[in-house]
Homo-oligomer: A and B are copies of this chain.
Amino acid sequence: MNAPVKPLRRTRIQTEKRDLILNAALEIFSTHGFRGSTIDQIAEAAGMSKPNLLYYFRGKEDIHETLIEKLLTTWLEPLRELDDVRDPLVEIRSYIRRKLEMARDFPRESRLFANEILQGAPRILPLLEGELKLLVDEKVQIIRSWIKAERIAPTDPYHLIFSIWATTQHYADFDVQVRAVLGTDRGGEGRFEDAARFLENLYLDGLRPKT
């Protein structure tokens, strides 16, 4: 009967059910946003009653917060891996590939994040100005050193990173639009390979004809 929310030790059922709830909540939150989602929806998607769900989480906010926290750790992983052990162009190409794979494999996480940012990042603004900015600033230094060494063309490192975020996450966040425009024939899973090839070409050589 006692407080089940923050148990020092978790029972088997608790870990299982919490995961079940978080998965259902990710589905709902990522497609309707925070305010557009209801606890009842999440409970139904998780196959349990609302009071039962509230036995495992303090409330709607608690679920969302847990989800966002879990997301952010894995979300920035690709950028963390960007370092200067390999050739700069190979490094950037790898980063694009990894981000594109995340858009393909974790579209719900991408949309959850997009929803949060779109609405002014009310819950994670401090994190963006702190942890995220620090990480980006660090990688910007690496890119600057590449430019100084003339290993890549001179360019704005911040906007380079923004453009990679934008182009890759687009395939998760705007998936409906992408599929609608590509149509049934080209809208299959092959679109991610096409996107990877296109972005690779774009970031390496741009559009200007060689001849």
Contacts and interface: CB of A to CB of B under 8 A. Distances in A.
A204 B208 contact: yes
The 10 A-B residue pairs whose C-beta atoms are closest, nearest first, are A35-B36, A166-B170, A206-B206, A159-B198, A128-B180, A205-B206, A166-B166, A156-B198, A129-B180, A33-B33
Contact of A202 (B150, B198, B202): B202
Contact of A199 (B120, B153, B163, B199): B163
Nearest to A121: B176
A167 to B, nearest CB: 5
Contacts of A182: 158
* Size class of the A contact interface (CB-based, 8 Å): 35 or more
17 contacts: A31-B119, A32-B33, A32-B119, A33-B115, A117-B176, A118-B173, A128-B177, A132-B177, A152-B208, A153-B201, A158-B194, A160-B198, A161-B181, A162-B181, A162-B195, A166-B167, A205-B208
Interface in A123-144: 125, 128-129, 132-133, 136
A92 interface: yes
Contact of A177 (B121, B155, B171): B121
Contacts of A70: none
Interface of A: 31-36, 88-89, 92, 111, 114-115, 117-121, 125, 128-129, 132-133, 136, 150-153, 155-156, 158-163, 165-167, 169-171, 173-174, 176-178, 180-183, 186, 194-195, 197-199, 201-211
